[in-house]
Amino acid sequence: MNKSSSWLLLIASLPTSSATPRMRLWRALKSLGCAPLRDGAYLLPNTPIHTTAFVELAEQTNADGGQAWVVDMSARSGSDDANFQALFDRSNDYVELITALNQARKQLSTQTQAEVTKTFKKLRKEREALKRVDFFPNDASMAAVAAWSDFEDATNTVLAPGEPSMESRHIPLLNIGDYQGRVWATRRNPWVDRLASAWLIRRFIDSSAKLLWLDKPENCPKDALGFDFDNAAFTHIDNKVTFEVLLASFGLEQPALVRMGALVHYLDEGGAQPPEASGVESVLAGLRETVQNDDQLLAMASSLFDGLLSTFEKNPQ
């Protein structure tokens, strides 16, 4: 964010007769990451998104019988500007997050996969909520990036041993006709990217594909098409997960599939959270915890992906 001297001030007061509007306003202000200057006066950096949010809060406050104004303001000096920015220092919040991440890492070896998934989702949600209101990143936020990376790697080791690293290479456009009746191989005990990729292969690329679940990537037969492990034919490339690489490789650019790619990317690597992510992740985690056979797991996950595809096709965004 541009560290300018332009700020927004929301001045709001509500009648004391009802707690509901007051609680609604308080929750909205907390979600936005506002800095209270005093009771009824709340500060944010001046951005279009914040302007829209403050205007909506002012309108809601007035509709609830209160009074509210949104004021553009500027700091009178660099010192005042620095003092305003200091109100948004999230260092203590990042220290708490890093402590939670370190504690969670120590407990990974004693937890079930369902417990690890639950902890990961909780901490990811907390991290993303903090990032949304971190308007002036500092050393504490950089330390949290490193702590999160370590925690994510440790979690992936538990949930998805052998998770591929990102490669940097060209993705050629391939002819689907050349990839029929093939053997496709990936790591056993699949998680979202491998499950979705296997579904995509059978649904759109090679309907008669034979799938192999490998104990180790190095056991991949020479005539098999490997996916989602290091040096496989189809794996993570640049900023794309394997599912997205398959879409690009075979020109599968239908909006519904691209939307599914964004969902798979988030669940595998993070980033912008699609609305469906939490529910899909919970369902897949439950299936993976209870279904031990990889072929059965894929069959059940495929029903979920079929349903998502149908929903996305009927409701394009």
Question: Which of 1-10, 21-30, 146-155 is predicted least confidently?
Answer: 1-10
Helix/strand/coil (H/E/C) assignment for every residue in the chain: CCCCCEEEEEEEECCCCCHHHHHHHHHHHHHHCCEEEECCEEEEECCHHHHHHHHHHHHHHHHCCCEEEEEEEECCCHHHHHHHHHCCCCHHHHHHHHHHHHHHHHHHHHCCHHHHHHHHHHHHHHHHHHHHCCCCCCHHHHHHHHHHHHHHHHHHHHHCCCCCCCECCCCCCCCHHHHCCCEEEEECCCCHHHHHHHHHHHHHHCCCCEEEEECCHHHCCCCCEEECCCCCCECCECCECHHHHHHHHCCCCCHHHHHHHHHHHHHHHCCCCCCCHHHHHHHHHHHHHHCCCHHHHHHHHHHHHHHHHHHHHHCCC
Q: Which of 7-16, 31-40, 147-156 has the lowest mean pLDDT?
A: 147-156
| Residue 199 domain-assigned (yes or no) | yes
Q: Which of 124, 159, 194 is the last residue of a domain?
A: 159
Residues 232 and 257 in one domain: yes
Residues 78 and 148 in one domain: no
Same domain flag for 250 and 303: yes
Torsion of CA 116, 119, 121, 124, to 10 degrees: -120
> What torsion do the CA atoms of 133, 53, 264, 151 make, to the nearest 10 degrees?
10
My answer on whether 223 and 306 are in the same domain is yes
| Residue 96 shares a structural domain with residue 187 | no
| Residues 290 and 205 placed together within one structural domain of the fold | yes
Of 22, 54, 86, the one marking the end of a domain is 86
CA separation (Å) from 153 to 117, 122, 280? 13, 16, 22
The CATH number covering residue 79 comes to 3.30.70.240
Residue 47 included in any domain: yes
pLDDT at 158: 81
Task: Check whether residue 76 and residue 97 sit in a common domain.
Answer: no
Which whole number is the average pLDDT over 292-303? 95
Q: Which residue has the higher pLDDT, 18 or 208?
A: 208
* Tens digits of residue pLDDT in 262-288: 999 999 888 888 999 989 988 998 898
As a whole number of angstroms, the distance between CA 154 and CA 296 comes to 27
pLDDT above 80: residue 162 = no
- pLDDT in the model for residue 11: 97
CA–CA distances in Å: residue 310 to residues 51, 247, 255, 272, 280: 37, 17, 12, 22, 15
* Together in a domain, 208 and 245: yes
CB 54, CB 8: distance < 8 Å: yes
Least confident of 116-130, 152-166, 292-306: 152-166
103, part of any domain: yes
Domain membership of residue 285 as a residue range:
176-314
pLDDT band at 161 (very low <50, low <70, confident <90, very high): low
Same domain as 182, residue 213? yes
Give the model confidence (pLDDT) of 53-96 as tens digits. Answer: 999 999 999 999 999 999 999 988 889 999 999 999 999 999 99
Whether residues 102 and 149 share a domain: the answer is yes
Domain count, the chain: 3
